[in-house]
Structure 1
Amino acid sequence: MLDIDILPNIDLPQSMRAIELAEPGEQISLSDVRLPVPECSEHELLVKVEYVGLNPIDAHFAKSGFSKWQYPHILGLDAVGTVVQAKKGLFPNIGDRVMWHANIGEQGVLSDYAKVPNFAVSVVPENVTASEAATLPCAGMTALIALEKLQIVQGDTILIEAGAGAVGQFAIQFAKQRGADVFTTASKHNHKLVKKLGADAIFDYHDKKLCEKIRRELGPQGFDAVLDSIGGDSTIRNIELMRFCGRIACLRPLPNFEQELMFRKAPNIGIVSLAGAWLANSLCAQQKMSFMSNQLLEGLSKGTLSVPNVTLIEFTAQDVSRALHTQIKGTFTGKQVVKISEPTR
C-alpha cells in the first residue's frame, strides 16, 4: 500500500465523468460515461483536471484510430489541473496546479481526473490562467522542437506555413526571438494577427501566384529553413523554395519525392513528433518535454509569449465531437479548450 497524502478536507470520489470514443470513424462518435478514478503507481500524480486543450491530432486519430489505443478510448492530450493525490515526498506537491502533454499510447485526459508521471508535468505560475496554460503543450512544444531541428539563428530566413494556426503563432514568436526573418502564409483575414506576432512578410495561401510572389519578396537565394505543417504537395513546393542544403521540419507524413528534386536541393529533412518521446519510452525525451513546458510557461508569465485566443468548449460528448470536426475543417483561428471543472484557485 502506497503512503498517500490527500488534500485536507477533500474526499476523492470513486467514479468520475469522462468522454469516450467507442471506435474510430468519420462521425467521431463520442459518449459521456462514468469510470473509476485512476489508481496511481509510485511515481504518478493524480490530478483533478480543469482544462483540456484540443489539437488537430485528437481529431485525426478519432477518425482514423491509433495502433496503441484500446477501445473505448478517452481522448485528449493537453491538460491543466491541480494535484490531489501523490506519494509522500513526491514533487510537485498536493495543491500545485500543473500542465502536461499526455502519453499518446495511454488513456487521454478528457475526464475529471487523470494520472501522470511526476517528471512529465510543469507547475503553472500563479499569474498564468489555467485556460491559457492549456493552449501551450502540444502546439508550443511542437514549435520549439521544430525550430531546434531547423537550428534557427540570427539572420536566417524561415517560411512558417499556416502562421495563424496555434503552432504557427508560437513559431513566429520564437523565430523572431532568435533573430530570423519570418515569412508566413495565412488567410487574408488573419494577416493582421500574424503581423502583430512579428511576421515580416505574409502571403495568402489561396493565392495562385504564391510561389511567384514569395520569390519576388525573398530573392533568388531561397529559404534557409521551412516549418512545414501542411504536408503533401506543399512539402514539395516548400523544398523548391529552399536554398541548396536548406532545412525543413515536417509535422505531417512525407510525400513521395522525385529523385531529381532531392539531388538538386539536397534538403535536410527533420520530422517532428511529440508522441515519439512516449512511444520510444525515452525518459530523457519525456523530461525534456517538461523543460520545454517550463520555458513556455515562463514566457507566458513574463509577457514575452502570447497565446492564441481561447474558445471554451463544454465538457459534453456532443460539444467535444463538434469541436473535433471543426479541428478537421480548420475553419477557426485560435485554440479550443474544454472546461472540465472550476479551477481550485
Structure 2
Amino acid sequence: MPHTDILSTIPASMRAIVLQEPNEQITLSELELPVPEVTGNELLIKVEYVGLNPVDAQFAKQGFCKWQYPHTLGLDAVGVVVKADKGVFPCVGARVMFHGNVGEQGVLSQYVKVPNFAVSVIPDEVKLSHAATLPCAGMSALVALDKLQISEGDSILIEAGGGAVGQFAIQFAKQRGATVFTTASKRNHKLVKQLGADMVFDYNDNKLVDKIRRELGPQGFDAVLDSIGGDTTIRNVELMRFCGRIACLNPLPKFEQELMYRRAPNIGIVSLGGAWLANSLCAQQRMSFMGNLLLENIVNNSLTIPDIIAVDFDAKSVSAALNKQLQGGFTGKQIVQIS
C-alpha cells in the first residue's frame, strides 16, 4: 500500500487505562492523554484489541522499576498503522500485532507507538481479536520450547495445560514430535487432550507425583515447561532425568544443593520483557519473527487459539479482569476491545 499521511484524522488526545500507583486491589483510572508523537522508524498504531496477561496484574500490584506514574498498562496489542514516515514498513493501513516494551507506556489506550521492526503484519484471513490472543502467551511458549530444545521423541511436562501458554505449548510440542504430559483441572482434561496432550493429570491430586511416575517410568522427563514457580519448580526438577532441561516463566525458588548435584538440571529463564530491557535489537526482531510464525499457523489451521473472554474498555472492567488473572481458575484469554 503506498504511503498516505492521515495525520489530519488523528485526534490530539486519547483515552487510556492507567495505574496511578501500584496497589494490591489493582485500582485503575481512566485518563485523557496526548496521542504519542512518532519519529524515524516508529509507527503510530490505532489500537483495536489488547490481550491481558498475568504479568500485567503482577506489575499493577507491585509496580516496575522502569515505570513513572501514572502508567498506562498492557503489553499485547493489535491494531492498524495510522502514521508512518515515508519508506517505513509496514505502511499506513497495515494491520499489526506486537508485544510491547515493558519499560515504556503500555497499550491500553486508543493509540500507541512501536518500532516497526517489532511488529508482525496480520494476514487478512486472521481476525484482529484472534491475533490479540497470541503475543505474550504464544511467544512465551515458543521461547520455552526453543530453550528446551524439544525434538522428536522427547518427553515433556507442560504445567497448567489449560492456561493460554500451556495450550500453545502443547500444540507446538506435538508439532515437534514430543510426548506431552500436562497438568490441568479436571474440567480442562478434555480440552488439553483435544489439543494433543498424551497424558493429563489433575494438579489438585494429592497423589500427583506418584501417578506421573507410574506413567512416565523411571527415566524422568527430558524437559519441563514450568509456568508455576515456587515448590512446583522444585518438584519438577525431581521429576526430570539427570541433566534434563527446564524452562521457567516465574522467579526461581531456592534449590537445595543436593538436588542440584543429583539432577544437574539445565535451567532456562523465559523473559520476553528482557528483549526490551537488554536493548537487544536481535531479540526484539525475533519477537516479530515469532509473531509471524504464530500467525502463519493460524492461517494454516495448525493452531487453535484459547477461547476469548471479552473485557470492556473501562477502568473498573480491566481492574476486575486483572484480579481474575491472578486468581486463576478460568480458561481462555481476556481481550479488551478498545473503543
Q: Classify the TM-score, shorter chain.
A: over 0.9
Name the structure 2 match of 1:184: 182
Name the structure 2 match of 1:269: 267
| Counterpart mapping for 1:158-307 below 5 A | 158-307=156-305
Specify every segment of 5 or more residues in structure 2 that has no aligned partner in the other structure, as ranges.
Answer: none
Deviation per CA, 1:52-84: give whole Å up to 9, x if none.
000000000000110011110000000000000
Aligned residues: 337
Name the structure 2 match of 1:18: 16
In structure 2, what is the Cα distance between the partners aligned to 1:182 and 1:333?
19
In structure 2, what is the Cα distance between the partners aligned to 1:78 and 1:249?
22
In structure 2, what is the Cα distance between the partners aligned to 1:329 and 1:233?
18
Name the structure 1 match of 2:73: 75
In structure 2, what is the Cα distance between the partners aligned to 1:255 and 1:325?
24
Name the structure 1 match of 2:326: 328
In structure 2, what is the Cα distance between the partners aligned to 1:272 and 1:215?
26
DSSP-derived class of the 2:101 partner? coil
DSSP-derived class of the 2:200 partner? strand
DSSP-derived class of the 1:24 partner? coil
In structure 2, what is the Cα distance between the partners aligned to 1:39 and 1:231?
40
How far does residue 42 in structure 1 lie from its aligned partner after superposition?
0.9
Name the structure 1 match of 2:85: 87
In structure 1, what is the Cα distance between the partners aligned to 2:16 and 2:256?
47
Determine whether 1:52 maps to 2:50. yes
Name the structure 2 match of 1:6: 5
Residues 74 and 108 of structure 1 are in contact (CA less than 8 Å); yes or no, is this contact kept in structure 2? yes
How far does residue 41 in structure 1 lie from its aligned partner after superposition?
1.7
One-letter amino acid of the structure 2 residue matched with residue 204 of structure 1: D
DSSP-derived class of the 1:91 partner? coil
Deviation per CA, 1:185-228: give whole Å up to 9, x if none.
00000000000000000000000000000000000000000000
Q: Structure 1: which 4+ aligned runs deviate by more than 4 Å?
A: none
In structure 1, what is the Cα distance between the partners aligned to 2:67 and 2:329?
28
In structure 2, what is the Cα distance between the partners aligned to 1:182 and 1:123?
31
| TM-score normalised according to structure 2 size | 0.98
Percent of pairs with identical residues: 72
| TM-score normalised according to structure 1 size | 0.97
Specify every segment of 5 or more residues in structure 1 that has no aligned partner in the other structure, as ranges.
Answer: none
Q: CA RMSD in A?
A: 0.9
DSSP-derived class of the 1:63 partner? helix
In structure 1, what is the Cα distance between the partners aligned to 2:116 and 2:260?
43
In structure 1, what is the Cα distance between the partners aligned to 2:289 and 2:58?
27
In structure 2, what is the Cα distance between the partners aligned to 1:225 and 1:28?
35
Deviation per CA, 1:139-172: give whole Å up to 9, x if none.
0000000000000010000000000000000000
In structure 2, what is the Cα distance between the partners aligned to 1:111 and 1:90?
23
Name the structure 2 match of 1:313: 311
In structure 1, what is the Cα distance between the partners aligned to 2:152 and 2:38?
45
In structure 2, what is the Cα distance between the partners aligned to 1:115 and 1:70?
17
In structure 1, what is the Cα distance between the partners aligned to 2:306 and 2:201?
20
Name the structure 2 match of 1:141: 139
In structure 2, what is the Cα distance between the partners aligned to 1:36 and 1:267?
49
